[in-house]
Structure 1
Amino acid sequence: MDPLFNTTEVPNGTVGSNGTNNGTVYRNQFVQPVWRIVLWAIAYSCIVVVSVVGNVTVIWIIMAHKRMRTVTNYFLLNLAFAEVSMSAFNTVINFAYAVHNEWYFGLIYCRFHNFFPIAAVFASIYSMTAIALDRYMAIIHPLQQRMSSTETKVVVGVIWVLALLLAFPQYYYSTTYQLPGRVVCYIEWPDYTTFDFQKIYHVCVAILIYFLPLLVMGCAYLVVGLNLWASEIPGDSSDRYKEQLTAKRKVVKMMIVVVCTFAICWLPFHVYFLLHQFFPELFEETYIQQFYLAIMWLAMSSTMYNPIIYCCLNDRFRAGFKQAFRCCPCVPPGSYEGLELKSTRYLQTQTSVYKGSRMETTVSTVLHAGEDAEHPKVKVRGGLGPGGAAVGVQPHSSTMDLTSNGSSSRSVSKTVSETSSFFSSNNLQE
């Protein structure tokens, strides 16, 4: 993925020891002062440290806590894995190669270096696309069945298979070449008379790993956003409904921020490569090296922002980060219950349902007693009064009480059933 080396500049003949080939001198024109290299090294090192630490923590939070193993979080796990892999295996190598314009790492890693970034970016953006479609189905079509854990893993596997297939040409045509005093790693595209394979491939890659998925996500989040924010909340809505709506808005807002961050970071990079395919003469100037280092830094920095976004916009991830870095003096103590199998809110909910169930049981007991007393018996209290008249003859008052209690029971039963149903669907949507 490094356009600093145009394949047409690599000679096919033998280069003499004097560094010339048919009168052409091959030299490394991209040499810069040490102070500039140090500044770029610090900038790229920050990406690697923040990205690796942050994404590994995200992976731990999801894998170590059952409550975090949801459909959305499985795709976030795949996204974190792709980003930490690209940051660890490609960022430093990209920087070293762009700075020195010399390849030190052999043919095998040259192929991996050109192959893996495309696969990782493909896996990252299509994980975000899958999340967008999942949010769309959960919010716009809430009655349809959600993906199971197994189906989610199958989708993740399919994403990676497609990613590897798309990146395979970069691996297959990658090679190294010995120039005077240095080795370069480049892609030797085949020459076809009918079409330009290199241009077609790069245009297809830009469409498939950037423009198309962003279009899909933009449409999905537009519809979801109109559904969640444009519609008014009914005035008589319960607090639980408003809480559920707020939770959905938070998740969608977090994912919109993630997608926008990715789009901003990678846009200059894709524009750069597309321009390089159609206007190669623009990239023969010395200043292009600094420009390339800047846009590559911006693209690689996309791997470090997502953990920060999760921590700022999601309560559970924030609790997980506090737990992971609890030994650091700068991290304030926080509640860890949000990551447990039963969170505080869940326990409060269960307590409320339990109380409602006990009330229903109590009322049902009274109802059963009332069924036995459907035809009330008259109890004679007292005896014969003066003159032999019967006194204290009154029917038992339980019949009147049962009418009221029966109505109350039906109301309580309906309330408890609705509450239980709500939390069952709510837990599925989380």
Structure 2
Amino acid sequence: MSTANEASSGPSAGPSAQPAPTGPAGGYRSVLRVREFRPVFAGHLMSVLGIVVAEIALTVLVFRTTGSPLMSALTFALGFLPYALGGTLLAGIADRRPARRVLVGCDLVCAACAAAMILPGTPVAGLLVLRCAMAFVAPLFQGARGASLADILGPGDAFVLGRSLMRMVAQSAQLIGFGLGGLLLTILAPRAAIALTAAGFLCSALLLRFGTRARPARAGAGRTSPLAGLRAVLGERRLRALTLLFWLPPVFVIAPEALLVPYADGIGAGTAALGVMMCALPVGTIAGELWAGSALGPRARSRLVAPLAAAGLLPLLVYAVRPGVVTVLAALLLAGLAHAYTLGLDQWYVDAVPDELRGRAMTLLSTGLMTLQGVGMALAGLAAEFLPVHVVVTGAAVLGTAVVLLLLAELRSANRREGGPKNETGPTAK
């Protein structure tokens, strides 16, 4: 699967993690030297590439079968609803079951779904159901993996850099995967390309099964209702503010990406310029994470959370003057660079989440992020039906900045009220 880690009962249960020395002196290389992290990282890379290729191949397969642009678009966008349902209904499993078992099981489910897609005669309805099944288990996989990174690397700076590596792989794989998928489909039939996805999931399952240690389920993670985890995460004031700082900024920053095609058409940019502009935000995001993880230590990253989060949408204000390609590229790159605030926020989040809730919290975090990005894209498109694109993006920048400032103020207030620290290190654990 595209994301997964092992859950355990926390560093105190079972073998303890052996975090690598990190910060500017250790950096990403020290994280990659952790033996148990490498198979998780390799499995993540293979499954992300596989998912991207499968999405393209399945969309092409459905279009060739039905001849319907609507059905092909539905296939590409179909993952949002089952992803949201899966993240809400399955989140508790990430804590109640041993993480390695959860991760391997999710990979095998996705491998089986991909294998079923390539069977001759599978109807379009069956293909869509299989696509939904893969999306349904994806957030559980991501949450269990995110929680177990803290067990493998320790809940300190190595965890932050490990999460950063996973995000950079996902961004890079999307950039490379769409090109690779298009290239593969010039030499392979769509079903053959999907077969590679099934193989990728199987390889990921093998890497996780034999490359990571078995850890018990988390202590204190009893059986609860599906919504109990959501109440636990959003019911605590500080944790709610941290969660919303992950969820809400992407709702607004996705607006220029969602509207790039009509904007490029409106300013007379060609397809080549459009392609470059579509790469600008993810390239900026990767560069920002790489800089923050390589050049800054934990304290510096923590101090930058508030200013980078607050300033992240400001470059998009240039849309107010309906800029050309070069200015849009610069604005999107700067907005992506500001995403480096998530490294410090990751540390605050893992410190604030109780060990017994970590799997559910990570599952819900990824679920909300994916779901709200889809909502942001839809809202941007809806607004652009009534307003010029440059006005929509400018409005998103203004509104998003106001929302971030309110969340930062709420976080400071929660820290004071709940006895949290008031210095640059952010919220402390439990």
The bucket for the TM-score relative to the shorter chain is under 0.3
Structure with more strand by fraction: 1
The higher-RCO structure (CA 8 Å, 6+ apart) is 2
TM-score under structure 2 normalisation?
0.27
Structure with more helix by fraction: 2
